[in-house]
Amino acid sequence: MQITRIRALRGPNLWTRSTAIEAIVQCAPEEHDISQLPGLEDRLRARFPQIGALQPQGAGQSVSLADVLEAAALSLQAQAGCPVTFSRTHATVEEGTFQVVVEYTEESVGRLAMERAEQLLQAALADTPFDADTVVAELRELDEDDRIGPSTGSIVDAAVARGIPFRRLTSGSLVQLGWGSKARRIQAAELDLTSAVAESIAQDKDLTKRLLHAAGVPVPMGRPVADVDDAWAVAEEVGLPVVVKPQDGNQGKGVTVNISTRAQLQAAFDTARSFSDEVMVERYLPGNDFRLLVVGHQLVAAARRDPPQVLGDGQHSVRELVDIVNQDPRRGSGHGTALTKIRLDDIAIARLASEGLTPESVPVQGQRVVLRNNANLSTGGSATDVTDDVHPEIAARAIEAAQTIGLHICGVDVICESMLKPLEEQGGGIVEVNAAPGLRMHLAPSFGRPRNVGVPMVDELFAPGEDGRIPVVAVTGTNGKTTTTRLITQLLAAHGLRVGMTNTDGVYVHGRQIDSGDCSGPKSARNVLFHPEVDAAVLECARGGVLREGLGFDRCQVAVVTNVGEGDHLGLNFITTVEDVAVLKRVIVQNVAQDGYAVLNAADPHVAAMAGNCPGQVIFFAQDRHHPVMATHRAQGSRVVYVDEGHIVAAEGSWRESIALRDIPITRGGSIGFQVENAMAAVAAAWAVGLPWQTIRRGLAGFASDGDNAPGRFNVMDYRGATLIADYGHNPDAMRALVQAVAAMPGQRRSVVISGAGDRRDQDIIEQTRILGAAFDDVVLYQDACQRGRADGEVLALLQQGLQGAPRTSYVTEIHGEFIAIDHALARLQPGDLCLVLVDQVHEALEHLRQRCAETSSATAGAA
């Protein structure tokens, strides 16, 4: 068995809506059925008993090594605590080659699981050792390191529950919620609403305390100190005991409390100084340590924090008791778990010494041994929920403190005896406020009721009913998708929206190109949805990107499928039939929002059949309103778009709206059939988005099929009285559509300039010139810039083969070089002729044609 390729499917894909690892696996003949490998399953289960049942890829089939790899990769992740359930093995058309797909939640974990699953199989085959426990621990540790922490995760989970999409921007806790102009960002428990000034104030504990004191919020007295002598002077001034802490610290680092002697002060000062150059001394407030969580204008949670401690049993030493407590599965080494392991470090040993104990001391039964003075969860403390106990006056002081500093999410640290009465009555006070507070103590308290604090945080970012989404229109098909994408973009822009568009020409935002090349994949889609100036997105979704990585979005409002026809790129990436192409194209239909629409070509049976896979509603379009699919759909009161008496008509029940084809320039008065279909698809998409019909009319009227609006898509020019048409058609369906279109245009002698894409099947290349040979007098063949794996001259030979016995063609020539071929064809043109140039280097070829047309215009003007 050999894995030849692994890739991550980061969005909805051919197999599942979940993220997944796809591996291409080659198995030797004897590996197609593990029953032919004696003892393999027993050796496998001996090494990894949790692998579960081994299922074949289809009914009546045997279990291959690829199926075993699938089961192992999924089970390893499941044992590591990853919430994964989906996996599949698919036998390809290539004998012994399988596609193994396994869900993941963290890409790094999914990749490693596939790698370790292969090692497990190799160990079972070779009867060598494999330590499954170590591998599972490795995967669990990687998952804890890479996944979003509990604080950020609670906000993300709350956003997802509201249907808000999210994208992790870094490997840390910076996350975008929503798309485009409606997107917001969080970093841990901090919102993009909060200013850097407010965060800076919160970092400065002395400034914070002075501002709170000025606002009438009770705080302990104290100030920053320069040295130990100054610290002792402050201690005597405010009264012992005192607290020493870094002025800009966090998570309780460097904090020492309840200091009552100069020796203790010296040690505490040195500790604080190791974390910050500036040290504060303030009066110690007796009582319990509480954390109050304020979001916006409300208190949403409160917890009492207790310092790390163990309870003596008269048998175990302090060190042993710490080890026992740390066995709690809720305790981990970082922030990915509800609690943190207790550390028996120098600070803990010093705290023990103050009680006359050492790590080896054996506390008596019931003796409470505190290992730190501060109660932060990050140092091993525990938490008890007290939200329901908070007195309204304490809540009011906490909210006032947050607003005084300017924090939208604020962790307010309070020291007092109880939450049941006002601070002033019990001599308590607010000792600190925290930006980006940890949420673990509220999400999973050691004792008491958990609080879903992510919900109010999302509510602070997004108003009720908002989901952070912008309209997303996804477009796919064999032909016409780029023109349709551009036309839909034009209609949305006519409504005043700033539109982000991706297609095979580049990425455009609000009319400005920000990237070039073939940008019809998921990466470009994600970049558009990330852009802050995008109010709506129109995304061309080509087959390659969906196969390679899946979709760049979780769902769309509108999915447009222009056609499937005979398909394209057949034979690549195990897509070998038209049915395979249809299954791939319908991925965008399967991921339409429940309140969205699929816009489907009713005249294409493969596209029409996708209606059953749409979670939302369907708009069918076809030129023939009497087509059975159209008639049935309309009879059911559903939306259809068709052509009637020179108009594109949108109908729903008895309601109708029509737009004259003469007012849609790209259709040339309705004479260009494929452009009529593109216009119908665009009209249906705009209708689905909810654009006003007056806006749709205006947008259609302003879209011309020229090199600016739709480069390489039936661009018509004049050359010395001859008609030039430049198009990027490159498959048999496109050739048929182009032949039909030019047949409606005047032209005495007709010529065509064509090459062929080397990554198509032989029969597809041959079929193109077979179609053209019946419609054109002159055929100029050229070898394009990239042969895509073909030998020199191979494509030209196939094109020549298609012209054998051509009923109309009387002149055929071969030329190396696209521009030379174009110039050769132009030189043969006479006024009244027509020439179709099938361009390869779209923008370069269009510029070349423009220059040639401009030269003849100048020469004509000069002669006049």
Residue 862 has pLDDT above 60, yes or no: no
Distance CA 758, CA 789 (A): 6
* Contact in structure between 343 and 334 (CB atoms under 8 Å): no
Residue 785 has pLDDT above 70, yes or no: no
Q: What percent of the chain has pLDDT over 90?
A: 75
Question: Which whole-number Å values give the CA distances from 215 to 202, 223, 281, 798, in the listed order?
Answer: 15, 17, 21, 85
Backbone angles phi, psi at 787, to 5 degrees: -85, -10
Indicate left, alpha or beta for 789 from its phi (over 0: left) and psi (-120 to 50: alpha).
left
Residue 861 has pLDDT above 60, yes or no: no
3-state helix, strand, coil in the chain (%, to 5): 40, 25, 40
Would you state the torsion angle of the CA atoms of residues 270, 274, 280, 285, taken in this order, to the nearest 10 degrees? -70
- Supply the mean pLDDT for the chain: 92
Residue 863: per-residue pLDDT: 54
| Domains of the chain with bracketed CATH | 2-146 (no CATH), 150-187 (no CATH), 193-219+286-307+375-464 (3.30.470.20), 221-283 (3.30.1490.20), 311-372 (no CATH), 472-701 (3.40.1190.10), 715-863 (3.90.190.20)
- The mean pLDDT value for 774-789 works out to 84
Of 332 and 750, the one with more pLDDT: 750
Q: What is the DSSP string of 729-768?
A: --SHHHHHHHHHHHHTS--SSEEEEE---TTS-HHHHHHH
* Contact in structure between 754 and 779 (CB atoms under 8 Å): yes
CA 814 to chain centre: 47
56-69, pLDDT tens digit by residue? 777 778 999 999 99
Residue 381 — pLDDT band, cuts 50, 70, 90? Answer: confident
- The mean pLDDT value for 727-749 works out to 91
490-513, pLDDT tens digit by residue? 999 999 999 999 999 899 999 999
Coil, strand or helix: which one is 263?
helix
- The mean pLDDT value for 383-391 works out to 96
Residue 251 — pLDDT band, cuts 50, 70, 90? Answer: low
Tell me the β-bridge partners of 311: 368
Residue 512: per-residue pLDDT: 95
Distance CA 562, CA 569 (A): 16
CB count within 10 Å of CB 853 equals 16
- The mean pLDDT value for 712-724 works out to 92
Residue 370: per-residue pLDDT: 87
Of 309 and 20, the one with more pLDDT: 20
Looking at this protein, which amino acid is placed at residue 185? R
Residue 572 has pLDDT above 60, yes or no: yes
To 10 degrees, what angle do helices 762-772 and 732-743 make? 10
- The mean pLDDT value for 119-127 works out to 96
Residue 569: per-residue pLDDT: 65
Backbone angles phi, psi at 248, to 5 degrees: -125, 35
What count of residues does the chain have?
864
Residues 6+ apart with CB under 8 A from 59: none
Distance CA 507, CA 112 (A): 34
Coil, strand or helix: which one is 274?
coil
Distance CA 78, CA 389 (A): 40
Residue 78 has pLDDT above 70, yes or no: yes
Least confident of 80-89, 292-301, 700-709: 700-709
Q: What percent of the chain has pLDDT over 70?
A: 97
Coil, strand or helix: which one is 617?
strand
* Contact in structure between 1 and 72 (CB atoms under 8 Å): no
Residue 726 has pLDDT above 60, yes or no: yes
Looking at this protein, which amino acid is placed at residue 403? Q
Residue 427 has pLDDT above 70, yes or no: yes
Residue 786: per-residue pLDDT: 62
* Contact in structure between 540 and 482 (CB atoms under 8 Å): yes
Residue 573: per-residue pLDDT: 73
Residue 77: per-residue pLDDT: 98
Coil, strand or helix: which one is 462?
coil
Distance CA 381, CA 351 (A): 14
Scanning the structure block, which residue is given the tokens 């029953």? 35
Question: Which whole-number Å values give the CA distances from 209 to 206, 247, 377, 436, in the listed order?
Answer: 5, 11, 23, 18
- The mean pLDDT value for 467-481 works out to 96
649-694, pLDDT tens digit by residue? 999 999 999 999 999 999 999 999 999 999 999 999 999 999 999 9
Scanning the structure block, which residue is given the tokens 């879903």? 452
Q: What is the pTM of this model?
A: 0.86
Backbone angles phi, psi at 259, to 5 degrees: -90, 130
Q: Which two tokens stand for residue 85?
A: 């359930």
Distance CA 858, CA 112 (A): 65
Residue 337 — pLDDT band, cuts 50, 70, 90? Answer: low
DSSP H or E segment with residue 304: strand 298-306
Q: Which two tokens stand for residue 462?
A: 């997004």
Tell me the β-bridge partners of 447: 384
Distance CA 400, CA 197 (A): 17
Distance CA 3, CA 202 (A): 53
Tell me the β-bridge partners of 812: 779
Residue 351: per-residue pLDDT: 84
Residue 206 — pLDDT band, cuts 50, 70, 90? Answer: confident
Distance CA 690, CA 696 (A): 10
Q: Which two tokens stand for residue 73?
A: 């990769």
580-626, pLDDT tens digit by residue? 999 999 999 999 999 999 999 999 999 999 999 999 999 999 999 99
DSSP designation for 610: G
DSSP H or E segment with residue 429: strand 429-435
Burial 447-465 (b: 16+ CB within 10 A, else e): ebeebebbbbbbbbbbeee
